[in-house]
Amino acid sequence: MSQKNLQAKESLGFVGLGAIGLPIAANLLKAGFCLQVHTRSRLAETSKQLIGAQSCSTPEDAAKGCDILLICVSDEVAVETVLFGPSGAENSLADGTTVIDLSTISPSKARSFSARLAKRNIEYIDAPVTGGTEGAADGTLTIFIGANNASFKKISSVLKAIGSAFYTFETVGKGQEVKALNQILVAGSYAAVAEAIALGETLNLPMDKVLEALQKGAANSWALSNRSQSMLKDEYPLGFKLHLHHKDLSIALRTAEESDLKLPITSKVKELEEELINQGYKDEDVSVLKRSIKR
């Protein structure tokens, strides 16, 4: 990181202003950070939420002069393009700066990006998030950090503006490995809630009362508390896009295969998601899994 006194607000670059990235960037701006933003479509750069941020035409421009660059994009191909593409951030990142990658990518790619940037004395930290659009908007994301406590301390003021729970896992790639576990649990819980609601509806149970009762016992989960009403109404406002979760499950299954481990439940949920994607639901919230349960 540069030799600026980082007790003052750091100058940040931010690339990726999607459903999760935009509210994260807005919270950084509210916290008083100087922000340079870029997103591939360019549209969200002029959002009312980002008044005061500097719009940049490329990742290279967004990274210019910043102490820390944050990336929040859809997959590892996008991360690689942001960092190392023709107008990539690597071209303008200064010696000693830090890259915080909030994206969900494979652990091996995270380690590869870290090694490439380390040659320029740039620290890359994988820091995938969970908490959905609600957590991004409220600044209450949980963040899995592939770095040690010393590295976390250097970036803590930034992360505390966007999250409320932080867990360090010592080395690059470990944050992504923990995120893979998170997405496996999300897959199982969403599918289980979908099946339970489908059976309850088939039995003509008073589902509002049933869901309230279930949330008081051992069956409760984040999916049950936050997505059961969507499934009941058959309406799926965006929290996390189905096709992105499907991509995350692919990473989790590939990671498991590398350790000769089979995950049959995760594999089945991935199949169900693939069917729904083929039916045109790729941009719906993951809770659209309810539509895979049919009589």
Q: Residue 239 has what pLDDT?
A: 83
Question: Encoding tokens for residue 239?
Answer: 């929290």
Where in the chain are all domains bearing CATH 3.40.50.720? 11-172
The reported pTM is 0.92
Alpha-carbon span 114 to 81, nearest angstrom: 14
Of 282, 293, 193, 182, the C-alpha closest to 241 is 282
Residue 220: half-sphere exposure toward Cβ, Cα within 13 Å: 9
Alpha-carbon span 56 to 53, nearest angstrom: 9
Class of domain 11-172: alpha beta
Which three-class secondary structure state does DSSP give residue 70?
A: strand
Catalytic residue among 64, 109, 174, 179: 179
- One DSSP character per residue, 168-226 reads E-SSTTHHHHHHHHHHHHHHHHHHHHHHHHHHHHHTT--HHHHHHHHTTSTT--HHHHH
Which three-class secondary structure state does DSSP give residue 79?
A: helix
Question: Encoding tokens for residue 228?
Answer: 């059961």
Which CATH entry fits the domain spanning 177-292: 2.130.10.10, 1.10.1040.10, 1.10.3720.10, 2.60.40.740?
1.10.1040.10
Is 64 among the residues known to form the active site? Answer: no
Q: Residue 6 has what pLDDT?
A: 41
Q: Residue 8 has what pLDDT?
A: 57
pLDDT per residue, tens digit, the chain (295 aa), is 443 434 457 899 999 999 999 999 999 999 999 999 999 999 999 999 999 999 999 999 999 999 999 999 999 999 999 999 999 999 999 999 999 999 999 999 999 999 999 999 999 999 999 998 999 999 999 999 999 999 999 999 999 999 999 999 999 999 999 999 999 999 999 999 999 999 999 999 999 999 999 999 999 999 999 999 999 999 998 788 999 999 999 999 999 999 999 999 999 999 999 999 999 999 999 999 999 998 7
Where in the chain are all domains bearing CATH 1.10.1040.10? 177-292
